[in-house]
Structure 1
Amino acid sequence: MDNLFKEIWLLENHPTYNHFLGQINLISDDSSRLPKTKTSKNSIRREDEKLHVLFEWIRKFYPNPEKKLTNAISERELIRELAETKDKHTRSSEKRVETDFTVYKNLGSQVLVDLYFYDGNEVVIYEAKKNTADVKDFYQLLMYWDGLVSDGTSPNEGVLLASEFSEGVKIITNDFNKNKTDSQGNKYNFVLKTWEEEGMKLK
C-alpha cells in the first residue's frame, strides 16, 4: 500500500511533505499476524484492526513528519504531486502513472521522461519546467516522444508543462504539429499547458 500519509498521521497531505518517504516492510512466517489483504492481493483491508495497530506504532516511532520549510517547491516535487493526482483520479485498472519513465531502452542509452501517463486508452508524456519553458525544453520533449517510438510505443500527446512559454517555443510547437511526423509516420501532437491548467497551484 502507498499514499497513506493522511491515514497514518491524520494530517492533510501538502507539497511541503513531498520530500518525506517512509517505508515499512511486513515480514512474518505466520500469516495470521499480518493485516489481511484484499482478494486481489494488491492492497490491505483498511478495516483490519492489525493495520490500525501498525499505524499507531508508526506514529509512536515517528510522531511528527517534518515539513520542508521553504516556499521553493522543486520541479520534481511538482511532478510527483501531479502524478499522484492523476493516479488518484484515473479509475481504469490498466492505468499507468510513472515519473522518471525510461525511453530509448532498446538502444541501451536510457533517457528519463519526467512523467508518463496511460489512462487505459491514451499515452501522454510530459516535460515539466517550473517557470518558463523555452525551445530547448521543447526539444527535450521531442526526444521523449522519439525515444518512446523507438521502443515501440506511439504516444498520443506530448505535453510541455510550465508557468509560461517563450514566443519561440510557441512557434516551433505549432510548426512540428502542422508539418512534421515521427519515424513511424505519425503526426506529432505537442501541447503547451500551464500548471494551473493541470489543476496545480504554484506558491
Structure 2
Amino acid sequence: MNRNVYLRLRNRIEVKADAVIKLKDVAKVVAEDEIEQKLNEQVLHKVQKHDKTFHVIDVIQVIESIHRIHPTLEINTFGPNQTIVEIVYPKRNLSFIKFSFVWLLLFVGAAIAIMNFHEDVSMQQVHVRLYRILTGERNLKPWILQIPYSIGLGLGMVLFFNHVFKKRINEEPSPLEVEIFNYQMNIDQYLSINENKESLKKNDEY
C-alpha cells in the first residue's frame, strides 16, 4: 500500500463560532482513497471563545496531528505554511437609519473632495479658457463643456472601480480591489507572525 500523502493548505477559510475544523476544511489532501477519507474527517481544532476572531493553523500542527493517528504515513506538503481561520459571528440586523447616515456622510464627503479638487486646479477658469479657444467668445458659464465633463467624470469613476452597483463590467480587478487584496495579505502575514510569537511566549512560560 502506498503510504505517501500529498497535502496543500488553503490560505484562508471562514468558519462559524461553534465549528469543528477538520483537515478537509483547511487542506486539499491527495492519497489512496481509504487513507484520504480518514484524513479528511480528522479533527484539527474546535473553535472556542478564546480564539476570538482569528486562529492560525500551522502545517507542523497538521503533520503532528496526522502522525498521532497514522505514524507510518509519509507526508509531502506544498503551498502555504499556515491557514488563517476567520471565525464569523452572527451579524446584527443593519439599521436603516445608520445605513442612511453612513451613505449620506460618504456622499457629502466625496462631493466636497471633488469640489475642493476642482477649485484647487481652477477647473472653472480652464473651461472658460477652453471655450474661448474653441469658439472665440468669452462665456463665464460654458455649460456645453461642463455638462459633458460632469457626465464623463461619473462614467470614469464607474470604469475605474469596474462596478455598476453589484455587477462587474469585466473580469479585470479594480484598483480598489487590488488594494483591498494587498491589505488582506498584509493582515494574514501579520496574523501568521503574531501567532508564532504568541506560541513562543507560551512555550517560554512553561
Q: TM-score, normalised by structure 2?
A: 0.19
Structure with the greater relative contact order (CA < 8 A, sep ≥ 6): 1 or 2? 2
Pick the structure with greater CA Rg: 2
Structure ranking higher in helix proportion = 2
